[in-house]
Structures are given as C-alpha cells and as structure tokens.
Homo-oligomer: A and B are copies of this chain.
Amino acid sequence: MTAGEPSATAFVPGHITGFFSAHTATTCSQAGSRGAGITLTDGVEVTVTPGSGLRLNGEGIEMLPVADVCNRLGVDAAVDANTSLPLGAGFGVSGALALGTALAANAVFDCGKTENELITLAHCAEVEAGTGLGDVVAQARGGLPIRIDPGSPSHGRLDGLPARPQIEYVTFGEMSTEAVLSGDTDQLTVAGESALSRVLEWPTIDRFMTASRKFAADAELLTDEVADAIDAVDEDGGDAAMAMLGNTVFATGDGLSAAGYDPQQCRTDAGGARLLDG
C-alpha cells in the first residue's frame, strides 16, 4: 500500500453456529441455512486497496468467495486480512473475509451499494463456493443471531437472542465445511429444525446451549475431543456446545477455564460487521 492510495478497513465478527438446517433454492440469495449462533468480539479485520491478491495474517492465500466478491463488484482489489481466529474450525472466517471485502471494497471503489446488497453479494459468494450457508448474514447482524429463514437479507428474516454472554472456546483442529455440506444433510436438517423450534419456544441463552448440544449429538457431528470437553464443563456446572462446523468447543461464562481448559476468551459482538473509522 502506497501513501495516499485509497484504502478502507472493515471488521467482521467471528461467528459460531450452534445448530442449523441446510436449505437449497434456485437462487443463491434464497439458499442458505436456518439456525442460531453467537457472534464474537474476536473477528477479522479486512483492509482493501486497489491491486490484487489476498493475504491472511501476512501470508498469501487463495479463497474462492473473496475472489468472487471482487468479481461481482467488478473491482481489482488487494485484500489484506488479519485475525486471531483459526481457519476451518467453525468461526466463519471465510464468511468474514467475503463480507469484509465487500464492505471495504464498496468504500474504496465507490460502488454505491447498500449494506443489504453487500451482504447478499458476500452470502452468494459463500453459498456458491460451498464454504458456508449462514455465517455472512449472522455476522452482518451481530449479537446472537437467529436465522428464521434461509437466505440473504432481502429474502431471509433474522431475529436475535437479547443476551450478551462472555464466551470461551478451544479448537482441537479443522473440519471441512464443504465435506459435510456436500454429503447427505437430511439427518442434520431434521435435528436443526427441531433445535430451532425449541429455541423459538423459549429464546434464552440457556435454551440455545441445550439445543446446540442436542443438535451435535443428533446430527452425529460430535468429535471425541469436543464430547469430552462438553462433559467436563457440564460436570463443573457449566454450559458448553460444539461450533458448527469445526472441531471446536465453546462455553458461556468461564465454563471451559473452570473445567481446567486453557481457552480463548472474548465477548458477544454487539454490532455486527462494520467499516472502521479511516
């Protein structure tokens, strides 16, 4: 980046999905997932300048949704992203990169899009790449988003749980979103629909955690490490569940540290994706 070159930076919160159901549709803006999750103050900062290429924490990488967002906006952008969140571990990093690129590139290249148009664009890029179904719309809203309908803001309704808990998390390794989503998602979707009904019946953080735990078991996605950690937190009187889709456990309050783990700690993100002051 050269001095005087136009530049914009967006922050996009990480997003842990507790449970979800997958929904296909004829257009990418109507396809997506229903479900609920937690957005995190730990997130991704995405800086865009004119140029080309994507760097994540200083290293050049390729990521289809980011390239797709730039194509859809018709811009040649150099994207420089930084995050403390691990990739492929259920934190919505690819969604954050796509959405952050859309917000920052719109500002740099004066594309004249609204927030919903940019969210739809990033959502479509994720859905078509198969890297995520619901992270982008959740990350745009912030808080504890409930995806009532699948799809982008012009099609899908969002609601939220009115709570802002502290969150702890531990990652045991990667899990491929593409591999799970490209397989048979029928069992997962039945479990996800049931979890969503239970949360909408009594929309509190406690109910969300219980429904998320049951979903991971019913959808047969639990890994041994996550199951052990959930049990350990439970024995200590805490509340933990699995991040979808990652080999990651998360807990409210100090659930994981109280159970003897050495977790990352953050808070619920209040505001959702946003441009940072220049």
Question: What is the interface of chain A, defined by CB distance below 8 A to chain B?
Answer: 103, 106-107, 110, 112-118, 142-143, 146, 153-154, 157, 159-164, 166, 200, 202-204, 267, 270-272, 274-277
A202 and chain B: residue at smallest CB distance: B112
On whether the beta carbons of A275 and B118 are closer than 8 Å, the reply is: no
- Asked if residues B115 and A274 are in contact (CB atoms below 8 Å), the reply is no
Chain B residue numbers with a CB within 8 Å of A112 are: 202-204
Show 15 residue pairs from A and B whose CB-CB distance is below 8 angstroms, ordered by the A residue.
Answer: A112-B203, A112-B204, A113-B162, A114-B159, A115-B143, A115-B161, A116-B160, A118-B162, A142-B271, A143-B274, A153-B159, A154-B157, A164-B274, A166-B277, A270-B272
> Nearest chain-B residue to A115 (Cβ)?
B160
Give the shortest distance, in Å, between A200 (CB) and chain B (any CB).
Answer: 8
Main DSSP-derived SS at the A contact region: loop
CA distance A159 to B152 in the complex (A): 12
Give Cα A114–Cα B163 distance, bound, in whole angstroms: 10
Q: CA of A115 to CA of B117 in the docked complex: distance in angstroms?
A: 23
CB distance from A149 to the nearest CB of B (A): 12
Chain B residue with minimal CB distance to A164? B275
9 smallest beta-carbon distances between A and B, as pairs:
A271-B271, A115-B160, A270-B271, A270-B274, A116-B159, A114-B203, A114-B159, A115-B162, A164-B275
Given A113-B203, A270-B271, 11 new contacts (CB under 8 A):
A114-B160, A114-B200, A116-B159, A117-B159, A118-B162, A162-B275, A163-B275, A270-B272, A271-B271, A271-B272, A271-B274
